[in-house]
Chain A
Amino acid sequence: MELGVKDSKLQNSSEKKASLKQTPLHDFHRSQGGKMVEFAGWSMPVQYRDSHITSHLHTRHHCSIFDVSHMLQTKVYGKDRVKFMESLVVGDIAELKDNQGTLSLFTNTKGGIMDDLIVTKTDQGYLYVVSNAGCADKDSAHMQARLREFKAAGHDVDLEYLEESLIALQGPSMARVLQEGVGDDLSKLTFMTSVLTPVFGIPGCRVTRCGYTGEDGVEISVPRDSVVALTERLLANDEVKLAGLGSRDSLRLEAGLCLYGNDIDETTTPVEAALVWTIGKRRRQVRDFPGADIIIPQIKAKTQRKRVGLISNGPPIRQHTPILSPEGRVIGEVTSGCPSPCLKQNVAMGYVETSFSKAGTPVQVEVRKKMVPAVVSKMPFVPTNYYTGH
C-alpha cells in the first residue's frame, strides 16, 4: 500500500515544515500527541492520540476543542461598515439584530463564490467577520480593494485584521462545560449570536454560538497569549478532548456543511450550490452584490446542475468520483465524501444534473472501475443540534 495522506489538501512533508505558519497552540498540540500536517500553509493537527472515529464520536456525545486560529478574523469599523460589507456579500446585513451573525458568501462578478464566511453585527461599533484560512490572502485583498474604493468615495470604513486566536468548543456538553467559566447565562446565547465576555478569568474574549460540526457549540476568540491557558483549563474538564482536522471534516460532512475549495468555489454559483437561503430578501430585489445579475435570474430559471447529498454502502465515495444515471450516463461528480462514523454508511456531496437532484433519486457512482448504487439524500445526514433557546 502507498502510505502518506491521500487528501490533496493535506501534505506531510518535513521540508515544508520550516515554512509553515504556526498557531500559538502549535507546540501544545505536539505535546498532546498531535499529528501535524500542512493545511492552507499552516501546520495543523489532523488527529491526536485517539483514533479519528473515537474523536469524531466524542464530539457528538461530549465535546471537543478545535484550534481554528488559522482562520481570518476581521473587524470592519466605521459609519458605512454595513454598506461596505453588503457591497461584497449576498446577505441582508443591515437587518441583522445586534450581536446576531449569519453565514454569508463573497461572490465575484461572474456569480461564483469567492469564500463562505460568518458576519456578526456587534453592538460595539464593528462587524466581526470570520473567513477561511485557505482564502485569507484572496479575501483580504478583496476587502482592501473595496476599502480603497469606499474611502476614495468619501465613506467612513476601516478594516482591522485580528491577532487573537480562535478555538471552537463543539458538542452537547459544551454549555455545561463553558458555563463554569462565563458569567452570562449561556441559555440566553442562542445559535448565531455573539457576546464579549471574560472566559475562565481571561479578559478580552468573544464567544459566538456557531460552529462547523452540526452540534451545539461556540467559537471563542481569545488573546493569543492566553489561548494555551484557556485550552488547558477547558481540557481539565473530563468531558473535553482535543480534536483535529480529520474529525472536523467528517463532522461537517455529516452535518451537510460545505467545504470551500471542494463543494463550493469560484465556478459554483450560490444557486447551483443550493445556498439560495444565504441571499437576502432585500438583496434579491436590489441586486446590489457582485454577480447579482447572473445569480438572481438563476433562482427562477433553475440551473443545469445542483449540489446534492449522496448516501451509499460499500466502498467509500470521495472527491472526483463520477456520478452516473442508472443507465450509466455521467451526470455529475462528487466534491467531497467520507465514511460516516455515525451512520456507518458513506456520505458525500456532489453536483448532479438538476433533473436528478430530488431526494430519493437513485444514481450510481464509479469507484475503482466498478458501479456502486447510491441515493440522492437530503442534508444534514445526521440531525443537527443547533441551540435555538427552546
Chain B
Amino acid sequence: MFSSFCPPVADVLLFLPSCCRCSPLSALLLLMLSSFCPPVAAPASLFCLCPPAASHPSLIFHCPAAALKYTDKHEWVRVEDGVGTVGISKFAQEALGDVVYCGLPDVGTKLSQSDEFGALESVKAASELYSPLTGEVTEVNNALSDNPGLVNKSCYKDGWLIKMTISVPEELDALMDEAAYERYIRSIED
C-alpha cells in the first residue's frame, strides 16, 4: 500500500500497476499530481486513481477495469461494486496443468481469510484453494463443471471460481498487487 508517502492526497491516491486502464480525465489529474508526489512503484508505467473498495463511494474517479490483488497462495481477487471475484493466477494454472475437476463451495458458504474453500484437480494432483478474504460466497462459476479447462484457458476471465462479499475491506490492503506478485513468483522460482 503506497498511499502514506504523500500526505495531501493520501486518502485518494492508490498507486496501481499497469493492468489498470484509466479514463483520460484521471490520467490528466495524475500528471498534475505527479509533480507533487513522485510515484514510488517504479516499474509501472501507468497509474490511475482507484478508490479502495467500498470505503469512498463519493469519489468520482473509478477504474473501468479493477486491479487484481494476489495472495501468496496464488489466488487473485478483483473487487467491483463491493463484490470480490476470485480465481487463480497464470503461474498457478501453468504449474497445475490441465484442470479436470473443480471442487467449489456452495453459495452462502461463509469464509474467513485463508480458509480452504475448494480444490482444483489435474490428472496428476489436487491443489487446495484458499480464500483471499473474509466474506460470503455469492456465486460459483457453474461453467466449470462442464468445462474445467476454462481455468487454464482463461484464468483471469472466464475461469473465475467464486464471487464473494467483502466483510473486511482492509484485508485487501495486505494483499500483493501485480508488481509485488511478480516479484514474489520470481523469488520462489529460484
Contacts and interface: CB of A to CB of B under 8 A. Distances in A.
Classify the secondary structure of A's interface with B: loop
A314 interface: yes
B75 A250 contact: no
B66 interface: no
A176 interface: no
B6 to A, nearest CB: 36
Given A3-B95, A3-B96, A316-B100, A52 B74 contact: no
Interface stretch (B31-39, B40-48, B125-133, B170-178): B125-133
Contact of B123 (A1, A5, A52, A315): A52
A2 B120 CA distance: 10
Nearest to B75: A1
B123 A339 contact: yes
Residue from B88, B122, B123 whose CB has the most chain A CB atoms within 10 Å: B123
Contacts of B128: 1-2
Contacts, number: 65
Interface string A24-54: 0000000000000000000000110001110
A368 interface: yes
B130 to A, nearest CB: 7
A3 B189 CA distance: 11
A193 B95 CA distance: 40
B123 A6 contact: no
Interface string B80-124: 000000001000100111101101000000000000000111111
B79 to A, nearest CB: 20
Contacts of A314: 101
A249 B2 CA distance: 49
B92 A316 contact: no
A7 B74 CA distance: 20
Given A3-B74, A3-B95, A51-B97, A316 B121 contact: yes
Contact of B73 (A1, A246, A315, A341): A1
A56 interface: yes
Interface residues of B, number: 24
Classify the secondary structure of B's interface with A: strand
B92 A318 contact: no
Contacts of A47: 97
B153 to A, nearest CB: 12
A318 B98 contact: no
B69 to A, nearest CB: 16
B127 A3 contact: yes
A315 B101 contact: yes
Contact of A1 (B74, B97, B100): B74
Given A1-B88, A314-B101, A316-B101, 17 more contacts: A1-B92, A1-B96, A1-B129, A2-B73, A3-B95, A3-B127, A6-B127, A7-B124, A47-B97, A52-B122, A52-B123, A53-B100, A246-B124, A249-B124, A315-B119, A318-B126, A341-B123
18 contacts: A1-B74, A1-B92, A2-B73, A2-B127, A3-B92, A3-B96, A7-B124, A7-B125, A51-B97, A52-B98, A52-B124, A53-B98, A250-B123, A250-B124, A316-B100, A316-B126, A339-B101, A339-B123
In the complex, the 8 A-B pairs of residues with the closest C-beta atoms, listed nearest first: A6-B125, A1-B127, A339-B100, A3-B95, A52-B123, A53-B98, A51-B98, A316-B121
